[in-house]
């Protein structure tokens, strides 16, 4: 993987050098996007024992896209990571798809794509998300599949029907041909200041067994502020409704186009008792019996009008509650090690997370066209 990273970096560096060596680079429509973005953070997490502290790279992405002619286009986004893929050749590729758009109203897509799930936290690029929900962190959302979309005449509404590999292939280290799929229906709406990203999905976790996911993203946007509120609901059976649910909301206030403050909070619970054999942890977004909450405050600053550099800082409180087994002794006079049975006690782990970091973007497409 180190060789792959070095080759990718060398390729982009050579392209940048060649751009300065000529008066102007004339791109065809095949390349309408060529960009690299990087994010690195310094982070401290407090615990009851030894706190964790240090600097680490979060993201290193390469993006390429363009028009292939004949109503075809493509998009490629490679996330450079330190570990190789384990399921398919495209494991570390977020997007690698081919679009066919015969008219302004219809689009067909095939390849590696994000599962068509609702919610504004889920919809954001990973490099732009701070202290996310467990659902966001744990779902393996980039999957191979196919989709069809209908776009309204005014472009304000998009309906998508999609079939992809199930993320449970990745959770279970199964091969791509295990036969597990996910069926997703999605609506993106733009009604002035109010926007929606709604979806419902049937995600197969075992042959013939499905997890239903409903994701309802709602957003209000104005000149100086915006806020979204996402509802996440999972059900493993017809009588499992209301037990596995989550909420996340984030509000931004923009003092200037280059500086904003944000407040974010979330709550998630998994009280499902549906089992599969001896396991109750079927829903991998949050372990059964757990409740989780996070809330925090942060700032973003773009030092220049091009917004190629973004600095951020935030602090958040994180809690996770769950039941823990406790061994009961017979009585105080019983020999050591003698037990009467088991009971459970509710435990809450809590910590603070402090983060400061920078994101920088090099748009080679714009750079080439300017020179």
**Residues with Cβ < 8 Å from 121, sequence gap 6 or more?**
129, 132, 133, 136, 217, 228, 230, 248, 250
Confidence at residue 366, expressed as pLDDT on a 0 to 100 scale: 78
Question: Can you give the pLDDT at residue 25?
Answer: 52
Who's near 12: CB < 8 A, 6+ residues apart? Answer: 36, 62, 362, 364
Q: How far apart are CA 289 and CA 15, in angstroms?
A: 52
Chunked into runs of 10 residues, the chain (371 residues) has average pLDDT values of 47 47 56 92 85 90 94 94 62 91 97 97 97 94 96 97 92 80 98 98 91 97 98 89 94 98 97 67 79 97 95 97 72 54 79 96 81 60
Query: Residue 29: its pLDDT value, please?
Result: 74
Model pLDDT, residue 6: 46
Answer whether 289's CB lies under 8 Å from 273's CB: no
Q: What's the burial of 136, exposed, middle or buried (CB within 10 Å: 0-12/13-18/19+)?
A: buried
SS (H, E, C) the chain: CHHHHHHHHHHHHHHHHHHHHCCCCCCCCCCCEEEEEEEEEEEEECCCCCCEEEEEEEEEEEEEEEEEECCEEEEEEEECCCCCCCCCCCCCEEEEEEEEEEECCEEEEEEEEECCCCCHHHHCCHHHCCCCCHHHHHCCCEEEEEEEEEECCCCCEEEEEEEEECCHHHHCCCCHHHCCEEEEEEEEEEECCEEEEEEEEEEEEECCEEEEEEEEEEEEECCCEEEEEEEEEEECCCCCCCCEEEEEEEEEEEEECCEEEEEEEEEEEECCCCCECCECCCCCCCCCCCEEEEEEEEEEECCCCCCCEEEEEEEEEEEEEEEEEEEEECCCCCCCCCEEEEEEEEEEEEEEEEEEEEEEEEEHHHHHHHC
> pTM for this one?
0.86
Residues counted in the chain: 371
Nearest Cα to 145, choosing from 131, 133, 162, 128? 162
Q: Measured between alpha carbons, how far is 163 from 148 in angstroms, rounded to an integer? A: 9
Quote the pLDDT of residue 178: 85
Q: Cα–Cα distances in Å, from 45 out to 41, 50, 58, 98, 351?
A: 13, 9, 16, 41, 7
Determine the pLDDT at residue 214. Answer: 97
């Amino acid at each position: 993987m180190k060789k792959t990273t070095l080759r990718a970096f060398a390729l982009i560096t050579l392209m940048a050098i060649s751009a300065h060596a000529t008066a102007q680079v004339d791109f065809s429509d095949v390349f309408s996007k060529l960009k690299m973005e990087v994010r690195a953070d310094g982070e401290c997490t407090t615990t009851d024992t030894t706190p964790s502290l240090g600097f680490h790279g979060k993201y290193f992405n390469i993006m390429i896209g363009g028009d292939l002619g004949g109503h075809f286009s493509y998009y490629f986004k490679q996330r450079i990571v330190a570990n190789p893929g384990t399921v398919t050749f495209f494991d570390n590729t977020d997007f690698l798809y081919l679009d066919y758009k015969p008219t302004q109203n219809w689009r067909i897509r095939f390849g590696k794509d994000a599962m068509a799930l609702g919610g504004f936290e889920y919809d954001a690029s990973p490099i732009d998300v701070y202290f996310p929900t467990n659902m966001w962190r744990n779902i393996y959302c980039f999957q191979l599949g196919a989709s069809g979309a209908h776009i309204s005449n005014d472009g304000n509404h998009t309906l998508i029907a999609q079939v992809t590999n199930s993320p449970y292939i990745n959770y279970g280290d199964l091969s791509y041909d295990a036969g597990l799929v996910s069926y997703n229906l999605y609506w993106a709406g733009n009604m002035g200041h109010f926007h929606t990203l709604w979806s419902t999905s049937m995600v197969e976790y075992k042959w013939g067994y499905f997890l239903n996911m409903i994701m309802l993203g709602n957003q209000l946007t104005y000149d100086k502020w915006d806020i979204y509120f996402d509802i996440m609901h999972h059900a493993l059976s017809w009588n499992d409704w209301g037990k596995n649910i989550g909420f996340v909301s984030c509000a931004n206030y923009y003092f200037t186009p280059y500086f904003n403050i944000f407040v974010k909070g979330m709550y998630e619970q998994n009280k499902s008792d549906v089992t599969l054999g001896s396991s109750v942890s079927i829903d991998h977004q949050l372990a059964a019996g757990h409740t989780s909450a996070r809330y925090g405050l942060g700032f973003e600053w773009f030092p220049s009008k091009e917004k190629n550099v973004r600095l951020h800082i935030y602090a958040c409180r994180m809690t996770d509650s769950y039941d823990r087994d406790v061994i009961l002794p017979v009585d105080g006079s019983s020999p050591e090690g003698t037990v009467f049975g088991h009971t459970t006690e509710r435990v809450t782990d809590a910590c603070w997370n402090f983060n400061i970091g920078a994101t920088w973007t090099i748009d080679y497409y714009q750079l080439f066209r300017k020179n």
